[in-house]
């Protein structure tokens, strides 16, 4: 009987450790700390201006895929685009950009803490168009977008409260949703 009790307690302890570890990875947004790189995409024609796309890759990397597509769409529209991980030095200063897009995964209906922190510290120049995206499960609904807007920190720059906000579900047409965001940002 003692042996069975010990086995049950051991299994229970292992399960607790696994649950706590997974929760820590999600809620502490560990994946954001790997997003330290940046790259510049140049248009084939004359540049229409500078844009920056800042992303938190999330656990699955879907948000990085979304960010890549948005950056590619901006490049196609003749923008010189900086694609920057959320912890990169390029993400720290958005002055001089006429379009700034920030996004990452949506967990429990809200943006990650790293995205919220970035939005809190973002100071777009006057006239900069700002886009915010969240990527997550399922198709997006107006309620999802409303939840994302609520997760913009209250102390964020007033331009962010007027930002174009979209949620892109994993099962949606990524190209079409990214183009929709870009078309709303281009003057």
Q: Which residues pair with 130 in a beta bridge?
A: 100
Tens digits of per-residue pLDDT, 9-67?
787 777 887 776 665 555 555 555 565 667 888 898 899 999 999 999 887 778 899 99
Question: Is pLDDT of 98 > 80?
Answer: yes
Q: DSSP labels for 21-59? A: HHHHHHHTTGGGGG---EEEE--SSS--EEEEEEE--TT
What's the whole-model pTM score?
A: 0.80
Q: Is the dihedral of CA 103, 152, 177, 72 positive or negative?
A: negative
Name, in order, each residue with C-beta under 8 angstroms of 44's C-beta and a sequence gap of 6 or more.
78
Are β-strands 164-169 and 38-41 bridged in parallel, bridged antiparallel, or unpaired? unpaired
Question: Is pLDDT of 186 > 80?
Answer: yes
The closest of 99, 104, 108 to 61, measured between CA atoms, is: 104
The closest of 14, 78, 93, 73 to 44, measured between CA atoms, is: 78
User: What's the pLDDT at 102?
Assistant: 95
Residues found in the chain: 187
Mean pLDDT to the nearest integer, 79-83? 96
Question: SS3 for 78?
Answer: coil
Q: Which residues pair with 102 in a beta bridge?
A: 54, 132
What CATH architecture does domain 31-185 belong to?
A: 3-Layer(aba) Sandwich (3.40)
């Amino acid at each position: 009987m003692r042996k069975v009790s010990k086995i049950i307690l051991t299994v229970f302890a292992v399960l607790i450790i696994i649950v706590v570890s997974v929760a820590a990875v999600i809620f502490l947004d560990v994946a954001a700390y790997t997003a330290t790189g940046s790259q510049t995409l140049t248009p084939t024609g004359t540049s229409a201006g500078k844009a920056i796309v800042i992303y938190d890759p999330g656990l699955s990397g879907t948000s990085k895929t979304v960010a890549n597509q948005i950056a590619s769409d901006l490049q196609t529209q003749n923008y010189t685009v900086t694609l920057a991980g959320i912890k990169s030095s390029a993400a720290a200063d958005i002055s001089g950009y006429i379009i700034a897009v920030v996004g990452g995964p949506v967990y429990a209906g809200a943006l990650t803490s790293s995205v919220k922190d970035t939005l809190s510290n973002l100071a777009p120049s006057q006239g900069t168009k700002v886009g915010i995206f969240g990527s997550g499960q399922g198709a997006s609904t107006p309620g999802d977008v409303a939840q994302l807007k609520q997760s913009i920190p209250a102390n964020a720059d007033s331009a962010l409260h007027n930002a174009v906000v979209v949620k892109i579900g994993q099962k949606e047409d990524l190209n079409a949703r990214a183009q929709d965001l870009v078309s709303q940002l281009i003057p």
